[in-house]
Amino acid sequence: APTISKLFHNSEHTQLIFLAKFTTRWILYFGTPILLFVVLLPSEILHLAFGKDYLTGTIPLFWLTIGQLFYITFGIADQYFLMTGHQKSWLAISFLTFILTIVLDLFFIPRFGLVGAAIVSCAMMLLIGLLALVGIKYLLNFWIVDFQLLKPWLASIVSGVFTYLAIQHWEFSPTYHVLITLGLSGFLFVCALLLLGIEKEDILIVKQIFHRN
């Protein structure tokens, strides 16, 4: 946040854009494989973590995880509103989604229960992200999401499909099932990302980290 404020007030627009896209990519690199894993095995995770009595939360957990995938796609968009003097715009977006959440919950929860609440939460995550995306374009004149950010999403879809097809034929115990799925989905995500091509600045950062270590 302090870096965003400094770059904005020093009129370093190019660096401001770079920071937004770079940070969002790395949020996706780390967050997407974990969330993908939860999408693939929501019931197994709940069973291992809390017991079979919590399996009724499988579908809500699935929708909440999809919502988080939407949320991390837009990275640190909220910080760009708050640290560039556009906090009122962010307040308006937050207030709008807050009101819509209440209205939709009043309709969906009595009819669909916990699943309805989870679907509303997922939809609001998508909505607040889209509003933030358009708002930043209008106020700061750049798009956070571009083709570079499509790569982690494409890698997730590819790795998710292949992992899903593979685990359909496995007959392991729940613990091994979860561990193997986590390893396989993560491995396939990295492979797909490498095939799609990692940005040069990301490779440079990784090399610098290994060099320091």
Per-residue model confidence as pLDDT tens for the chain (213 residues) = 888 889 888 888 888 888 888 888 888 888 888 888 888 888 888 888 888 888 888 999 999 999 998 888 887 888 899 999 899 999 999 999 999 999 999 999 999 999 999 999 999 999 999 999 999 999 888 888 777 778 888 888 889 889 888 888 777 777 888 888 888 888 999 899 888 887 787 778 777 777 776
3-state secondary structure of 206: helix
Decide: 8 and 83 in contact? Cβ < 8 Å: yes
Which residues make Cβ contacts (< 8 Å) with residue 73, sequence separation at least 6? 24, 28, 129, 145, 149, 153
What ranges in 10-146 are assigned the alpha helix state H?
13-40, 42-50, 58-73, 77-82, 87-140
